[in-house]
């Protein structure tokens, strides 16, 4: 009788059809081994008193690690637990785990850590990622072979916005990019001396809440230009349009503006339109929307090529140059008395007598 009862129990639990085995399934047609739970327990548990795994949870596919479901989720053994859970309704794959260690049989509190949605977007700290990688409330660390953080993306770098921190091979910050350096303010780029954490350079998009940008640096080296220029509006004279290399003078009829020079020994000389012969300005100034602005970069100091004429006197290096009657051209300042206050600078190259051409000039209005 006992043997018959045992056989009946076995037949009740196992159903064979075409060599398929079903546990909790009468017709196991979809696989060699079919496990169906009853909605209140895990379908499969491996090592239920050790840190094993479990399969199946109610109506959605689930793989549990060191936890199982039996009228509530429980630890298999002391330690941490986690599970992967797939929602067939929205195609979302989620990973949950515990933040604190638990003991066998206790009920763990599970927290969602990352997700992969049906579009292949990965979310960290967010339930449905809006981009290929969507991170919320977490830092992103890219470290080097020594384990120090080469790049750290930190959404809580300060209270006003996220930031990116770069470190050297000793794990000390050297560069920081902040989204904002104050409430409703623009961001900044900071460089640090790793020996004492002092700021060596700062590019601030909204310095001291003034709404104005500022660069703070110890030393500035310019490699792509040779003169200091300011922007001016320059008027033509007698049909001669302003162009690079021309001398320009103060326009006495238009405050703040200039005009192409065409008077010998003009004491209103202001500078040279920069850019002739491929030598560009190294620094340019102007204030948009005010009288201190314009279209032409006018060199005030530095080295610049100037249109010159040597029809009466040859030009040699070291000669003082002044304005000529030929529009926009310089000439040798042969009359030192007249030249006082009308000198544009010193010649650094030659121009033979009876010719016109470009002369390299070291600017110095005097």
| Residue 68 CA from chain centroid, whole number | 45
Q: Are residues 241 and 355 in the same domain?
A: yes
What would the 3-class secondary structure string for 135-149 be? ECCCCEEEECCCCCE
pLDDT, average across residues 1-15: 50
Domain hosting 278: range is 227-363
Higher pLDDT, 184 or 329: 329
Q: pLDDT above 70 covers what percent of the chain? A: 90
The last residue of a domain, from among 67, 99, 129: 129
SS3 label, residue 91 = coil
SS3 label, residue 11 = helix
Residue 1 lies in a domain: no
The last residue of a domain, from among 61, 96, 129: 129
Q: Are residues 158 and 87 in the same domain?
A: no
Task: Dig out the tokens for 68 from the structure.
Answer: 């199982």
Q: Are residues 233 and 204 in the same domain?
A: no
Residue 261 lies in a domain: yes
Handedness of CA 155, 156, 160, 163 (dihedral sign): negative
Q: How does the average pLDDT of the chain come out, rounded?
A: 87
Residue 199 CB partners (closer than 8 Å, separation 6+): 190, 191, 192, 193, 216
Task: Dig out the tokens for 120 from the structure.
Answer: 């292949």
SS3 label, residue 312 = coil
Q: Are residues 264 and 168 in the same domain?
A: no
Whether the Cβ atoms of residue 135 and residue 127 lie closer than 8 Å to each other: no
Helix, strand and coil content of the chain, in percent to the nearest 5, comes to: 5, 45, 50
Residue 42 CB partners (closer than 8 Å, separation 6+): 54, 55, 56, 57, 64, 68, 69, 70
Residue 6 lies in a domain: no
Partnered with residue 359 across adjacent β-strands are 306
Give Cα separations from 197 to 161, 191, 261 (angstroms): 21, 9, 53
Residue 2 lies in a domain: no
Q: Find the CATH number of the domain harbouring 246.
A: 2.40.300.10
Residue 264 CB partners (closer than 8 Å, separation 6+): 322, 323, 324, 325, 331, 338
The last residue of a domain, from among 217, 242, 271: 217
Task: Dig out the tokens for 203 from the structure.
Answer: 């590019």
Q: Are residues 50 and 146 in the same domain?
A: no
Residue 134 lies in a domain: no
Residue 282 confidence (pLDDT)? 94
The yes-or-no verdict on residue 9 having pLDDT over 50 is: no
φ and ψ of 135, to 5 deg: -115, 130
φ and ψ of 178, to 5 deg: -115, 140
Q: Are residues 55 and 173 in the same domain?
A: no
Q: Are residues 145 and 107 in the same domain?
A: no
Query: What does the alpha-carbon distance between residue 135 and residue 133 come to, in Å, rounded to a whole number?
Result: 6
Selection from 294, 295, 293, 320 nearest residue 306 by Cα: 320
Residue 24 confidence (pLDDT)? 72
State how beta strands 258-260 and 161-167 pair: unpaired
Residue 135 lies in a domain: no
Q: Are residues 257 and 350 in the same domain?
A: yes
Query: What does the alpha-carbon distance between residue 80 and residue 65 come to, in Å, rounded to a whole number?
Result: 9
Query: What does the alpha-carbon distance between residue 123 and residue 94 come to, in Å, rounded to a whole number?
Result: 9
SS3 label, residue 357 = strand
Q: Are residues 103 and 183 in the same domain?
A: no
Q: For residue range 32-90, what is the model confidence (pLDDT) as tens digits?
A: 777 777 667 887 888 888 889 988 765 678 898 998 888 788 899 999 999 998 998 89
Total domains present in the chain: 3
Q: For residue range 82-121, what is the model confidence (pLDDT) as tens digits?
A: 999 899 889 999 999 999 999 998 888 888 899 999 999 9
Selection from 217, 244, 236, 219 nearest residue 327 by Cα: 236
Q: pLDDT category, 8, cuts 50, 70, 90? A: very low
Q: For residue range 117-141, what is the model confidence (pLDDT) as tens digits?
A: 999 999 998 888 989 989 887 777 7
Task: Dig out the tokens for 330 from the structure.
Answer: 């310089």
Whether the Cβ atoms of residue 54 and residue 45 lie closer than 8 Å to each other: yes
Residue 36 lies in a domain: yes
Task: Dig out the tokens for 250 from the structure.
Answer: 């103060």
Q: Are residues 358 and 334 in the same domain?
A: yes
Q: Are residues 257 and 194 in the same domain?
A: no
Residue 156 confidence (pLDDT)? 66
Q: What is the pTM of this model?
A: 0.66
Q: Are residues 162 and 184 in the same domain?
A: yes
Residue 295 lies in a domain: yes
Give Cα separations from 300 to 82, 256, 261, 263 (angstroms): 70, 15, 15, 19
């Amino acid at each position: 009788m006992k043997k018959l009862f045992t056989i009946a129990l076995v037949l009740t639990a196992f159903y064979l059809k075409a060599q398929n085995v079903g546990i909790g399934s009468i017709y196991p047609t979809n696989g060699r081994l079919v496990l169906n739970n009853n909605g209140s327990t895990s379908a499969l548990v491996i090592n239920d008193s050790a840190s094993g795994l479990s399969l199946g949870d109610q109506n959605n596919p689930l793989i549990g690690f060191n936890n199982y479901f039996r009228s509530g989720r429980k630890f298999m053994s002391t330690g941490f637990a986690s599970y992967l859970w797939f929602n067939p309704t929205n195609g979302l794959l989620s990973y949950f785990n515990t933040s604190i260690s638990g003991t066998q049989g206790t009920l763990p509190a599970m927290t969602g850590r990352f997700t992969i949605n049906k579009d292949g977007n990965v979310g960290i700290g967010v339930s449905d990622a809006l981009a290929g990688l969507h991170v919320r409330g977490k830092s992103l660390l890219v470290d080097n072979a020594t384990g120090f953080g080469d790049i750290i993306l930190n959404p809580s770098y300060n209270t006003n916005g996220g930031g990116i921190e770069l470190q050297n091979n000793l794990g000390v910050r050297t560069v920081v990019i902040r989204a904002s350096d104050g409430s409703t303010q623009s961001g900044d780029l900071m460089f640090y001396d790793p020996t004492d954490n002092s700021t060596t350079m700062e590019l601030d998009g909204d310095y001291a809440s003034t709404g104005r940008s500022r660069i703070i640096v110890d030393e500035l080296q310019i490699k792509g230009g040779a003169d200091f220029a300011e922007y001016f509006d320059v008027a033509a004279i007698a049909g001669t349009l302003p162009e690079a290399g021309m001398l320009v003078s103060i326009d006495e009829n238009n405050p703040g503006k200039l005009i192409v020079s065409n008077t010998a020994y003009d004491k209103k000389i202001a500078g040279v339109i920069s850019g002739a012969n491929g030598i560009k300005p190294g620094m340019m100034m102007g204030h948009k929307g005010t009288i201190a602005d314009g279209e032409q970069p006018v060199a005030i100091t530095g080295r610049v090529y100037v249109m010159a004429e040597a029809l009466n006197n040859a030009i040699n290096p070291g000669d003082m140059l002044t304005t000529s009657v030929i529009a926009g051209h310089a000439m040798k300042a042969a009359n030192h008395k007249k030249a006082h206050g009308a000198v544009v600078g010193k010649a650094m190259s030659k121009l033979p007598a009876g010719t016109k051409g470009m002369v390299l000039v070291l600017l110095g209005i005097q």
